[in-house]
Structure 1
Amino acid sequence: MDQLKELLASTPWWVYILLLLLIVFVRDILQKKHTISHNFPIVGHLRYLLERIGPELRQYIVANNREELPFNRSQRSWIYASSKKQNNYQGFGTDQDQSAAGYVFINPALFPYTPKPDHPNVIHKDLVPCAKLMGGYNQRKRPFRPRSIVNISAMSFGSLSARAIESLNRGAYTAGAFHNTGEGGYSPYHQKGADTVLQIGTGYFGVRDENGNFDLNKLIELTTAHPQIRAIEIKLSQGAKPGKGGVLPASKITREIAEIRHIPMGQDVVSPSNHSAFSTPAQLLDFIELLAAETGLPVGFKAAVGKLELWEELTDLMLEKNIGPDFIAIDGGEGGTGAAPPSFANHVALPFVFAFAAVYKIFQKKGLTNRVVFIASGKLGFPSNALMAFAMGADLINVAREAMMSVGCIQAQSCHTNTCPAGVATQNKWLQSGIDVKDKSARSAQYLKTLRKEILEITHAAGYEHPCQMTMDDVDVGMGDNNYTTTLTQAYKYQKEPVPFSGMNSLIECPHLGAIKTEN
């Protein structure tokens, strides 16, 4: 034994390296799984290394500020600076191609709106509640006026990590925003103070029986026990993968996730593409009324948009029965968070501007626009994009990936691999441990406040007190031909209906206004 130790101690270090390379060489030659490694032993591994770190190389070294998708470096930098309360200005003018097709121009007024000294926005520069009362038309027992026009979109615990969800919820509480739970159930991490919108998906996670069917009693118990649940959203589809369910592999199901979702351990759990509780527009309306009657909460649904026949049928039934959803979330096909097949993410469902315009015109034709709170989502977490949505008829903006970036997401695009290096979209305990909830929640809140503040500042520049007053003529879009631009009215062939609005004071005095953190 002593002789062996002496031999090992006297052996040069480079011999060990050569031995290791020899082992790798022999392994590469013998294995048949990877052709590159077999044909080019040792050096072939460099190809896989470069492939693995390719997104990071392009993100930080190769691509320019406006080149990347889904969010370019300039957009990400604005979110990071805004969430950290850093200087998010830019110098020396715009660096964007203002002649590009689809470029958004906000038309300023000759004389901007100037709040008086006693105006709420002089005291609270980012205070912007929703102009409509959710559940007001249908006279729900517990109507809800969101305190913030910008809120956090549906992202489940399971898709995102516990620390990411908690950071977002605490941030929403501080900023006065609501937090959509996503379809993964109402986790303890959604219960850190913020108003929540409980999403019910096709798997009915958290409100299902042993056979996976919807359980009304569990929903009643949940909403009764947690008054911070202010509304219920039925998920019909989402922009990333409309018309498709999902699979939660057994390997990813922890005891905690199983208890929250009311699912068994040790087996894959499938979310079907369709709801089992209803299958027609008429049944959907009846289901909405059932949930609203039993919980007293506003109830709406979320959908991506494609074929419009059933939207026509839905609105006809709303007129006939004088019932309907309290809100509708329109998700653009460019939206997304976790995982989706490229064929769905890239090609199924309309982008937000086309989707929203198509649905809004149907509701406008039937005189239904002011019965419903319209929620817009799909890369709208920037002031100009958000204001375009308000001009088209949106009442609220939901942000998902932008909110993820505010708590540390670096757009590594590894959400579907459980290896998110920022700890945001993973259940890996070590990777999650890098998220400081206190710090990230403050950043999340600051991002929401900054976005609201800048939306409001541009609104004032356009001559209005509240974004709900924006019209289709207040926004031009570039057509890409000879620097020609046109108004949203001309581009989408409608003018949005005026939203009843009597001043910001009337909104903040509403007894159904959402919660906000008050302690120091």
Structure 2
Amino acid sequence: MEQIWDFIANIAWYWYLIAFIIIVALYDIFNKKHIILRNFPVVGHIRYWLESIGPELRQYIVANNREELPFNRIERGWIYASAKNENNYEGFGTDRDIYSHQYIFINNSMMPFKLDENHVTAKDPGFLPCAKIMGAAKNRKRPFRPRSVINVSAMSYGSLSAKAIEALNTGCKEVHAYHNTGEGGLSPYHKTGADVVFHFGTGYFGVRGDDGKFSMEKLKQLVKDHPQVRAIEVKLSQGAKPGKGGVLPGSKITKEISEIRNVPMGEDVLSPPTHSAFEGIQGLVDFVEKIAQETGLPTGIKAAIGKLEQWEELADIMKATGKGPDFITVDGGEGGTGAAPPSFADHVSLPWVYGFKDLYQVFQNRQMTEDLVFIASGKLGFPAKAAMAFSMGADVINVAREAMISIGCIQAQACHNNTCPTGIATQNKWLQRGIVVPEKAGRLASYFKKFNKEVLEITHAAGYEHPCQFDMRDVDVNIGDSNMTQTLEHTYKYQKTVVPFNGMQELKDCIHLGGK
């Protein structure tokens, strides 16, 4: 009898499996939504399963090293290796198609810039501050010189997790970079010691009154209570979705995020596409000027670039009055961490290189570029691309996705649905547990150090001491016709304005004496 019961127990699971398959088959046969399941019961699920893991299959098996977007395997590998302080070199020559359209070449000097043993960067290869000072031209009470040319771009607490924000801020502190808050307000995780650029958009999160409008009193109190806030950035638009307000799904809104943003729990947070705090270009100038006067901080704007008429109006007002933004952050239409409809991410606003060259010339034609700090954002977190940006007139580089990759992002492209497997772009506590803040902070710091070091090495190879000395003749680009390659000056029809620069030692002395 005992043997019989053992036999029945051994075969019972077969019957359970058969019963399960029959139930699934019946469900599929009467399914009205999916043709594949209705026509191919049970086995049709394999197709949908394979489709769901398609990105992973392509990422790890199918795509070649240079094929993926937005960042290919080689680019991610360089960031990972730099972040882990591993060998980030490659051997046996480049595997890039160096004859491809828009491929860039840095023109090296016959005699590189020579460092003596007492040079600032010989002792500290990661020392690379901005050559300009935000707010100096307009005599702001608290001008600010970024102490690193690479910094963390606007990514909010809400879009990213608490541990990710804390890791980024702690890493920035280690390398003296600033951390842009994004439009989610100033959270406790932005307060580990790094310089902070407080950023807000049309939702005014963090400086939002009970009526949902902008509150100057809240901004003044925030700046007073947090001396690490060194500049204010007003977002007009962003590369992923210019002209469309931000969206934070209700599933990502925790009690803490609700309190910081002053928004209700459980509801999607929809930022309007336009500001309610000001009207028109003159209103923007007055608004920026009022913030700078009330807080004493340099105040700037961030935007993706399309039409130029209103930018020309802004430049004319600034030229006539001496008022307006202290810095402009130019965001590329390449998209970013923000969730966006494909029609916006793919087609609305210009890529960084085209948008920047248009905007820069608007201000250069009015002899205004020396008084402005230009911040570049748009897949520029690689040394050669940064050198190109500096040659075109950028003063500072902001990185977002590259910073995420340095702390463990695997480009799962799940930022918008709260299921990020690395815990970086989700509020799921279980997924966040994988982030060890000190470890990831160290990785961001290492990536920034390697970035600054390689930018300096490229700068020296071109014969300069600081990347602000690059100009449009120092970079060639493939233009795809019988001219083969031409300098950026020839291609984009302008030459950047010379940035005043008296040597790295002077920058070091200024920072040491005045913190500027």
Common topology (TM > 0.5): yes
Q: How does 1:248-397 map to 2 (within 5 A)?
A: 248-397=248-397
Partner residue, 1:76: 76
Q: How does 1:157-168 map to 2 (within 5 A)?
A: 157-168=157-168
- CA distance in structure 2 between the partners assigned to 1:33 and 1:229 by the alignment: 53
Partner residue, 1:122: 122
The residue identity in structure 1 corresponding to 2:180 is: N
Give the secondary structure class of the aligned counterpart of 1:303: strand
Cα pair 1:145 1:514 within 8 Å, conserved: no
Partner residue, 1:208: 208
12-21 or 429-438, larger mean C-alpha shift? 12-21
The residue identity in structure 2 corresponding to 1:124 is: D
- CA distance in structure 1 between the partners assigned to 2:436 and 2:92 by the alignment: 36
Cα pair 2:247 2:270 within 8 Å, conserved: yes
Cα pair 1:302 1:328 within 8 Å, conserved: yes
Q: How does 1:78-97 map to 2 (within 5 A)?
A: 78-97=78-97
Partner residue, 2:48: 48
- CA distance in structure 1 between the partners assigned to 2:350 and 2:30 by the alignment: 49
Partner residue, 2:156: 156
Partner residue, 2:459: 459
Identity level (%): 62
Partner residue, 2:236: 236
List alignment gaps of at least 5 residues for structure 1. none
Shift of 1:48: 1.2
- CA distance in structure 1 between the partners assigned to 2:515 and 2:59 by the alignment: 38
1:96-124 CA distance string (max 9 Å, x none): 11111110100000100012221110110
- CA distance in structure 2 between the partners assigned to 1:336 and 1:483 by the alignment: 34
Give the secondary structure class of the aligned counterpart of 1:36: helix
419-428 or 9-18, larger mean C-alpha shift? 9-18
Q: Which has the higher contact order (CA 8 A, sep 6+)?
A: 1
Partner residue, 2:31: 31
CA 1:10–1:64: 2 relative to 1, 3 Å: closer
The residue identity in structure 1 corresponding to 2:287 is: F
Cα pair 2:252 2:426 within 8 Å, conserved: no
List alignment gaps of at least 5 residues for structure 2. none
Partner residue, 1:21: 21
- CA distance in structure 2 between the partners assigned to 1:443 and 1:381 by the alignment: 15
Shift of 1:208: 0.8
Partner residue, 2:403: 403
Q: How does 1:491-506 map to 2 (within 5 A)?
A: 491-506=491-506
- 1:191 maps to 2:181: no
Give the secondary structure class of the aligned counterpart of 2:203: coil
The residue identity in structure 2 corresponding to 1:271 is: S
450-459 or 503-512, larger mean C-alpha shift? 503-512
Q: TM-score, normalised by structure 1?
A: 0.96
- CA distance in structure 1 between the partners assigned to 2:393 and 2:53 by the alignment: 42
Give the secondary structure class of the aligned counterpart of 2:183: coil
CA 1:80–1:483: 2 relative to 1, 3 Å: farther
- CA distance in structure 2 between the partners assigned to 1:249 and 1:287 by the alignment: 30
Shift of 1:423: 1.2
Shift of 1:246: 2.6
Shift of 1:512: 8.1
1:251-308 CA distance string (max 9 Å, x none): 4321111111111224333200000011211111111111111111000000000000
The residue identity in structure 2 corresponding to 1:214 is: F
Partner residue, 1:417: 417
- CA distance in structure 2 between the partners assigned to 1:368 and 1:515 by the alignment: 25
Give the secondary structure class of the aligned counterpart of 2:416: helix
Partner residue, 2:110: 110
Partner residue, 1:441: 441
1:328-357 CA distance string (max 9 Å, x none): 000111131131100000000011111000
The residue identity in structure 1 corresponding to 2:209 is: D
1:216-246 CA distance string (max 9 Å, x none): 0000111110100000000000001000003
477-486 or 318-327, larger mean C-alpha shift? 477-486
RMSD after superposition: 1.8
Partner residue, 1:134: 134
Give the secondary structure class of the aligned counterpart of 1:286: helix
Shift of 1:511: 4.6
CA 1:513–1:434: 2 relative to 1, 3 Å: farther
Shift of 1:38: 2.0
The residue identity in structure 1 corresponding to 2:48 is: Y
468-477 or 333-342, larger mean C-alpha shift? 333-342
Shift of 1:34: 2.4
459-468 or 24-33, larger mean C-alpha shift? 24-33
Shift of 1:483: 7.7
Give the secondary structure class of the aligned counterpart of 1:189: helix
- Over 4 Å off, 4+ runs: 5-8, 511-516
Cα pair 1:131 1:507 within 8 Å, conserved: yes
- CA distance in structure 1 between the partners assigned to 2:72 and 2:482 by the alignment: 25
- CA distance in structure 1 between the partners assigned to 2:306 and 2:8 by the alignment: 69
Shift of 1:6: 8.1
Cα pair 1:145 1:512 within 8 Å, conserved: no
Shift of 1:128: 0.3
Cα pair 2:251 2:418 within 8 Å, conserved: no
- CA distance in structure 2 between the partners assigned to 1:335 and 1:37 by the alignment: 35
Cα pair 1:155 1:337 within 8 Å, conserved: yes
The residue identity in structure 2 corresponding to 1:45 is: H
Give the secondary structure class of the aligned counterpart of 2:233: strand
Q: TM-score, normalised by structure 2?
A: 0.97
- CA distance in structure 2 between the partners assigned to 1:165 and 1:8 by the alignment: 56
- CA distance in structure 2 between the partners assigned to 1:75 and 1:480 by the alignment: 24
1:356-387 CA distance string (max 9 Å, x none): 00011111110100110000010000011100
- CA distance in structure 2 between the partners assigned to 1:205 and 1:435 by the alignment: 26
Give the secondary structure class of the aligned counterpart of 1:311: helix
CA 1:512–1:230: 2 relative to 1, 3 Å: farther
CA 1:109–1:256: 2 relative to 1, 3 Å: same
- CA distance in structure 2 between the partners assigned to 1:379 and 1:449 by the alignment: 18
